[in-house]
Amino acid sequence: MNRKITVLTLCAMLFALWGSVEAQQSGKIFRIGYLDPITVSENAVRLEAFRQELSKLGWIEGKTIAFEYRFAENKPERIPELAEELVRLKVDLIVTSANPPALAAQKATSTIPIVILNVVDPLALGLVASLARPGGNVTGLSGLASELNTKRLEVLKDAVPKLDRVGLLVRQAGNPGEEIQLKELRVAASALKVKLEEIKTELDAQGFESAFKTAKQKQVKAIMTTALRVFNAERKRIVELAAKYRLPAIYPWKESVDEGGLMSYGIDYDDQYRKAAYYVDKILKGTKPADLPVQQATKFEFVINLKTAKQLSLTIPPNVLVRADKVIK
């Protein structure tokens, strides 16, 4: 009996490694295109988590896989061109992060598999036919940005006494994902009896300064942003301005709290990138994207920076503190 169990175990291990071993034996190196709206330095940690997870699954860079990275460097107008470039290179699979790259990749190819990350609502955006059965060449992970924006607004109201007016930094530059977020936030603000002041923001020093001046003129008592990657890329500037104008703020990304921001509530992005590796693994081993259900985020993080709260002369209520996953003192 023990011998049979040992044989079965060995067979299972060999089967799990078959895809990458077969690729090595045949000399095939799968090329993975990666398309991101920000810069390589701004996403280095999460990309490393993705690559490490692929390594654990048996894929070896330079022997069985190779990467073609394309970063738009916070210039959204470059994204369609970069997507088309990856298609011309005939990569075996494209991984995209955020809404614009996902939509650009889908427009550029209907045959190359696409694994999406951090997409607001892939169904509403027309990226998939359904979450359970995507049906085309796109699958991956949904970031639940709309639902989490609502949660952030709720947390902000709980944390800031008598909060009745919130400034919301928006881009509104033809981003369908942001429009979905705004629709949900407007409903949530109404339900919470909070006036939402939407402030269009240009992504430069003068543009951000102007946005915060407008927020103060509108007498907002707190600030937040839509969950766009371009705002994450500018998190240091936003955090500094929130401190300058003494505005409590909540962010979608924990990195903003690391920079000195007050609070963050959002998905565990490292976990998302690790999960993306499993989609890549399955697709490169022959599974069709159409047969891989889109996963919604399941791990969330709520972080509070009490040092910043003290600087703002803000006392975080105990019922808010107790909900935090991490408190910086």
Looking at residue 303, its pLDDT comes to 97
- pLDDT at position 116, please? 97
Whether 248 is covered by a domain: the verdict is yes
Q: How confident is the model at residue 214 (pLDDT cuts 50, 70, 90)?
A: very high
Same domain? 131 vs 219: no
Which 3 state secondary structure label does DSSP give 275? helix
Q: Is position 42 within any domain?
A: yes
Residue 109, in any domain of the structure: yes
pLDDT category, 26, cuts 50, 70, 90?
A: low
Cβ neighbors of 131 (< 8 A, separation 6 or more) are 122, 123, 142, 293, 294, 296
Place of tokens 């598999």: 113
**What's the pLDDT at 173?**
66
Q: Could you tell me if 160 and 240 are in contact, meaning their C-beta atoms sit under 8 angstroms apart?
A: no
pLDDT for 20 equals 43
Are residues 131 and 52 located together in one domain of the fold?
A: yes
12 in a structural domain: no
Share of the chain above pLDDT 90, in %: 75
Tokens found for residue 32: 């993975």
Residue 112: band (very low, low, confident or very high) from pLDDT cuts 50, 70, 90: very high
Its pTM stands at 0.82
**Which pLDDT score is estimated for 108?**
98
Which residue blocks in the chain are alpha helix, DSSP H?
2-26, 44-56, 79-88, 99-108, 145-159, 176-191, 205-217, 229-233, 235-244, 254-258, 269-284, 306-311, 318-321
Domains contained in the chain, number = 2
What is the domain range of residue 43? 28-143+268-298
Same structural domain, 94 and 224: no
The answer to whether residue 256 scores a pLDDT higher than 80 is yes
Strand pairing category for 195-200 and 165-170: parallel
The answer to whether residue 174 sits within a structural domain is yes
Both 100 and 205 in one domain: the answer is no
Q: Report pLDDT for 10.
A: 44
> Could you tell me if residue 4 is inside a domain?
no
Residue pLDDT, tens place only, 150-167: 999 999 999 999 999 999
Q: Is residue 7 part of a domain?
A: no
Q: Taking the CB of residue 105, how many other CB atoms lie within 10 A of it?
A: 28
Domain check: are 43 and 188 in the same one? no
Residue 153 falls inside a structural domain: yes
Instruction: State whether 181 and 259 are in the same domain.
Output: yes
Q: Answer yes or no: do 101 and 204 share one domain.
A: no
Cα–Cα distance for residue pair 116/99, rounded to 1 Å: 8
pLDDT tens per residue across span 156-200: 999 999 999 999 999 876 678 888 889 999 999 999 999 999 999
pLDDT tens digits for range 78-105? 999 999 999 999 999 999 998 899 999 9
The answer to whether the beta carbons of residues 54 and 280 sit under 8 Å apart is yes
Same domain, 115 and 193: no
Whether residue 182 sits in one domain with residue 101: no
Residues 95 and 169 in one domain: no
How is residue 270 written in tokens? Answer: 């490292």
- Average pLDDT over the chain reads 90
* 78 and 67 both lie in a single domain: yes
Residue 57: half-sphere exposure toward Cβ, Cα within 13 Å: 24
Region 113-127 average pLDDT: 92
Considering the domain architecture, whether residues 310 and 189 belong to the same structural domain is answered as yes
| pLDDT level of residue 264 (50, 70, 90 thresholds) | very high
The pLDDT tens digits of the residues spanning 14-24 come to 344 444 444 44
CATH number at residue 293: 3.40.50.2300
Tens-digit pLDDT profile for residues 216-242: 999 999 999 998 888 988 999 999 999
